[in-house]
Structure 1
Amino acid sequence: MSDTMRGVYTNLTKIRRDVFREVAKVCYSMGDDPTQTDADLDKRFDELPFKILPGDVATYRESVFLERAIIAERIRLAMGLPLQGVDGPTRISEGFTQTGDLSYYEPPLVNVIKFACNACKDNVYEVTNTCQGCLAHPCREICPKKAITFVDKHAHIDQDLCIHCGMCAKTCPYQAIHHHVRPCAAACGMHAIGSDEHGRAQIDYEKCVSCGQCLVNCPFGAIADKSQIAQVIWSILAGEEVIAAVAPAFVGQFGGKGNVGKLREAFKELGFSGVEEVALGADLCTVQEAEDFLEEVPDKLPFMGTSCCPAWSVMAKKEFPKYADCISMALTPMTLTARMIRTQHPKAKIVFVGPCAAKKLEAMRRSVRSEVDFVLTFEEMAGMMDARGIDYLSLEDDNKSDFDVASADGRGFAVAGGVANAVVNAIHRRYPDREVNVANAEGLEDCRKMMRDATKGKYPGYLLEGMACPGGCVAGAGTLVAIKKSAAAVKRYAKRSPRNNATEDSYRMLIPMLSQGFGKGDLDHEVEETIEASVPTEQPKE
């Protein structure tokens, strides 16, 4: 997987954030000017592509009309609407309403805007102009299908004969043979991206787990996921009690070095009723997984995998069904935090704010829907702040203490290795001499390899930590800053906690209540529900 574009502000980054900002502006305008009609709203949405890309000269592509058509599709996805395509006259806001069920959108969550796709070559070996036409011709001699010939002292590969074994590229002394791989496909650890009849990217939704890595690795911005920005703002404008639950990876995402008081003020100005830290749920998850590990490994289970990354857990259960029980059945920090909030705010709308596209899919599970109403990424939340002109760092601190009920280990969930570290520390608090072996994997390719090795007996009695995003949650598709910078900020913030270990958190006493009604039998269905939610009932128009 490539992280070359992560943390780099590109033209694509600007377009993405411009779309989130402008969609949020239109939605907030209904509260600023309640006299606006539905027709006024439709008109404002239709004008957005021209506002985002003014003028009559193309900036990024061959035509300004194509640019605006792509922007229009991204606007629809940001509104939680399906793609429309360009084969008929439609309004951008067609299908958008402020009434009815605001919480859920129809699958698929991750979408390819077909006419934005560059139809990149995928798994193709080609000879570059650095070929020297050498006397040895090792590429020709090693090719098992005799697909390589020499024309004018330059190697040529017959693509009809080539079987993509790569032997020629490995053998060339000048490294003159290049292996072209579609960037989105290379980033997809599920091998879920192929090509349609026109050579454009196509997602196999039976395989996709919505990790979002394709979103941030497509250099043409042809892949985007749906958002709930509009639905969150409508709930705020309707006077609902809307509470944000921010993921542990939030530190540094909006600037500063963990200015939590300023963050609370920013959310307040956006209309949120309150803010809670999901690291609380991480503490609960830690204790639950530690207890399960002590009870079941190795007597009942040969190993146990962590549960907090939905993309990893779905992949593991889906591809290794015989070992599905070996993935922890503990509820995720997002769900546990939402349940904790509901004990005091039963009628609130709960918005998970985090780095992850897969959390949107997790929240669509039937078993989670009653707990988490909306999911926004940090990038989408930044768009809301920008829409309201909120300069996070210039705000006054609310002078309240930090979210100091969460432990340092709970806050460390955001960084690869942090989940396993928290669970091991919790186990050692009870059994200091208990040896706990750990294996970690980052990225779904490596997670698959780790799981495969575990099923073959390589990790007996181990705790396995899987993270779909290389680097952990700080590398999620919805993050704003470079991965290493974010990881360092999370670690600094974790050290500020007065509690080191999850077992020190008084909220651990809530686990039996929060987990009530969720036995293993209930949770076994969650992977099927997630897969079902990811597959579109009808393919979008091309």
Structure 2
Amino acid sequence: MADTMRGVYTNLTGIRRSVFREVAKICYKLDAQGESTQELDKEFDELPYKILPGDVATYRESVFLERAIISERIRLAMGLPLSSMDRPERVSEGFEKAANSDEVFYEPPLINVIKFACNACKDNVYEVTNACQGCLAHPCREICPKKAISFRDKKAYIDQDACVKCGMCFKTCPYHAIHHHVRPCADACGMHAIGSDEHGRADINYDKCVSCGQCLINCPFGAIADKSQIAQVIWSIARGEEVIAAVAPAFVGQFGGKGNVGKLREAFKLLGFSGVEEVALGADLCTCQEADDFLDEVPDKLPFMGTSCCPAWSVMAKREFPEHADCISMALTPMTLTARMIRMQHPDAKIVFVGPCSAKKLEAMRKSVRSEVDFVLTFEEMAGMMDAKGIDYLSLEDDNKSDFDVASTDGRNFAVAGGVATAVVNAIHRRYPDREVNVVNAEGLDDCRKMMKDAVKGKYPGYLIEGMACPGGCVAGAGTLVAINRSAAAVKRYAKRSPHVNATENSYRMLIPVLERGFTKQDEDLEVSESMEATKGTAE
């Protein structure tokens, strides 16, 4: 799976973050200046010209095309659908409806292809490059099973109509002169959900998509983007509602520094949030729940058990292996458990999950979760809000509170691949030190699928299996800001600072039966169908 641009600040990164920043600036005016949504329409309509001034194209053949693409990104950042291509439409069209209802955001699809931004990349095509030496042996021609290779002007030539894409020529050429073109977004998609439309542009099969977001961070043309709830969060704050952030374990180092939580709390306070909680608390509870389930069910009731915290992996496993759907843990995810804990003390609060993940937006769309989590923002979207307010994270004062630091080392390490399984095993060993627990884990949906196939075939009897849709774990999610290796190292350093090593040391674990209340097997059965429905739609 491709992942060549992570941690590299590109022109595309700058455009994406400029859109988030400028949209947030306008939305904050509702609070600061009391402007109505109607008065802000003009500002949104003029925003593409502010982000990209002048009359000379910077990256593409036309400045008008560049602004049109930025316009679509602005709409998605406001939680609106892409514009209709068959009639005139302003950037701000539908803005007032989005300001007064979250239903616009929940209209599928979540992940969108901006068609006129797509480069119509060649996909799964073998072509001969200038490196061909026209060698005497002609091994590429000799090995081709369909005789698709001939020589023209002493250079190899591939007949695309006859080629069956077997790759034998690619593997055989001694000069590596044959190039395999793959569409970057399709190469990154572990669900194989991206093909081509009639014009050769990327097209998402929403029956397969699980909203992992890997396509949108691997498209070098910025043609794929997901909807955001930046506007809805800011307007909730502007209305004077109690808005509490639940921050995913992967937050460490995303905004600068080395995991200074006091600075983070201060930054969120300046943004208008009423409070901040650490989702690693919910990770501790998820750990205890999965440890109990494993002990109760494996291997007597289930041949193996898969972890539940990654929604993209969970949906893929249940969708593609329905006869083994029960083998994926029914434990509530850390996001949902943390939200339920918050709601016990703040029943009327709006809860915002802040994390690295596009798929968490999909999870929050499920009927069984929407009542707990009101909004989902990525770290990149949150950084846009900080930029809009001119917040310099590293210059903030530490509030020196310690009540945030109650999650365990194991709970905080959920953000890194292998961390979930390690936490569950450690929790089991607290109760049964001599119990042998075999573990296998996979990163990336292609490898997760292979792992699940092997498990179904009986290769992992009695195993705990951990799936992570993003290679590297949550620190590699689509909404992260820094390089994966740096983020993983920062999370591990921060995790070691916890006064608790194991999830079982978390006093909140006694709340698990209460937090589970109301979540039934029927909710679990709805998970796949709801997720499929949420991803369906067209981006025409």
The aligned residue for residue 42 of structure 2 is 43
The aligned residue for residue 218 of structure 1 is 219
Distance 1:273 1:435 in 2: 44
- The equivalences for 1:136-215 within 5 A come to 136-215=137-216
Structure 1 gap ranges (5+): none
Distance 1:325 1:233 in 2: 39
The aligned residue for residue 325 of structure 2 is 324
The aligned residue for residue 6 of structure 1 is 6
The aligned residue for residue 373 of structure 2 is 372
Distance 1:146 1:220 in 2: 35
2:367 is paired with a residue whose SS is coil
1:342 and 2:346 equivalent? no
The aligned amino acid for 2:463 is Y
Pairwise CA distance, 1:522: 2.6
After superposition, the CA RMSD in angstroms is 1.0
1:20 and 2:24 equivalent? no
Distance 1:15 1:25 in 2: 15
2:370 is paired with a residue whose SS is coil
Distance 2:28 2:182 in 1: 42
Distance 1:10 1:99 in 2: 31
2:95 is paired with a residue whose SS is coil
The aligned residue for residue 285 of structure 2 is 284
- The equivalences for 1:241-280 within 5 A come to 241-280=242-281
Residue pair 1:72, 1:92 contacting (<8 A) in 2 also: yes
Distance 2:339 2:38 in 1: 36
Distance 2:288 2:407 in 1: 13
2:323 is paired with a residue whose SS is helix
Relative to the length of structure 2, the TM-score reads 0.98
CA offset digits 1:484-520 (Å, max 9, x no partner) = 0000000010001000000000000000000012133
Distance 1:434 1:236 in 2: 49
Distance 2:473 2:149 in 1: 43
Pairwise CA distance, 1:382: 0.2
Residue pair 2:194, 2:204 contacting (<8 A) in 1 also: yes
Greater CA drift, 389-398 or 377-386: 389-398
The aligned residue for residue 61 of structure 2 is 62
The aligned amino acid for 1:130 is A
The aligned amino acid for 1:530 is S
Distance 1:238 1:401 in 2: 30
The aligned amino acid for 1:19 is V
The aligned amino acid for 2:53 is P
The aligned residue for residue 404 of structure 1 is 405
CA offset digits 1:86-117 (Å, max 9, x no partner) = 44321111011265422642110000000000
Residue pair 2:30, 2:37 contacting (<8 A) in 1 also: no
Pairwise CA distance, 1:381: 0.1
The aligned amino acid for 2:102 is L
Greater CA drift, 132-141 or 474-483: 132-141
Distance 1:127 1:375 in 2: 46
Pairwise CA distance, 1:85: 4.6
The aligned amino acid for 2:450 is K
Pairwise CA distance, 1:391: 0.5
Residue pair 1:184, 1:213 contacting (<8 A) in 2 also: yes
The aligned residue for residue 442 of structure 2 is 441
The aligned residue for residue 240 of structure 2 is 239
Greater CA drift, 517-526 or 291-300: 517-526
Structure 2 gap ranges (5+): none
- CA change 1:540–1:4 in 2 (3 A) is closer
The aligned amino acid for 1:337 is T
1:228 and 2:229 equivalent? yes
1:245 is paired with a residue whose SS is strand
Greater CA drift, 517-526 or 301-310: 517-526
1:302 and 2:309 equivalent? no
1:479 and 2:469 equivalent? no
Pairwise CA distance, 1:348: 0.3
- The equivalences for 1:79-118 within 5 A come to 79-97=78-96, 99-102=99-102, 104-118=105-119
CA offset digits 1:144-180 (Å, max 9, x no partner) = 1111110010000010111100011111111111100
Residue pair 1:260, 1:402 contacting (<8 A) in 2 also: no
The aligned residue for residue 125 of structure 1 is 126
Residue pair 1:42, 1:91 contacting (<8 A) in 2 also: no
Distance 1:395 1:516 in 2: 40
The aligned amino acid for 1:426 is A
The aligned residue for residue 456 of structure 1 is 457
Residue pair 2:444, 2:469 contacting (<8 A) in 1 also: yes
Residue pair 1:111, 1:223 contacting (<8 A) in 2 also: yes
Residue pair 1:441, 1:447 contacting (<8 A) in 2 also: yes
Distance 1:179 1:30 in 2: 51
Question: Taking every aligned residue pair, what percent have the same amino acid on both sides?
Answer: 83
- CA change 1:131–1:85 in 2 (3 A) is farther
- The equivalences for 1:348-427 within 5 A come to 348-401=349-402, 403-427=404-428
Relative to the length of structure 1, the TM-score reads 0.98
Distance 1:29 1:516 in 2: 40
Greater CA drift, 102-111 or 447-456: 102-111
Distance 1:269 1:44 in 2: 24
Pairwise CA distance, 1:4: 1.4
Distance 2:530 2:38 in 1: 37
The aligned residue for residue 30 of structure 1 is 30
The aligned amino acid for 1:499 is H
Distance 1:527 1:346 in 2: 28
The aligned residue for residue 529 of structure 1 is 530
Pairwise CA distance, 1:122: 0.1
Distance 1:483 1:99 in 2: 35
The aligned residue for residue 491 of structure 2 is 490
Pairwise CA distance, 1:38: 3.8
Residue pair 2:41, 2:95 contacting (<8 A) in 1 also: no
Residue pair 2:405, 2:498 contacting (<8 A) in 1 also: yes
1:524 is paired with a residue whose SS is helix
The aligned amino acid for 1:58 is A
Pairwise CA distance, 1:437: 0.2
Distance 1:22 1:410 in 2: 35
Residue pair 1:189, 1:445 contacting (<8 A) in 2 also: yes
Alignment length (residue pairs): 538
Residue pair 1:147, 1:159 contacting (<8 A) in 2 also: yes
1:111 is paired with a residue whose SS is strand
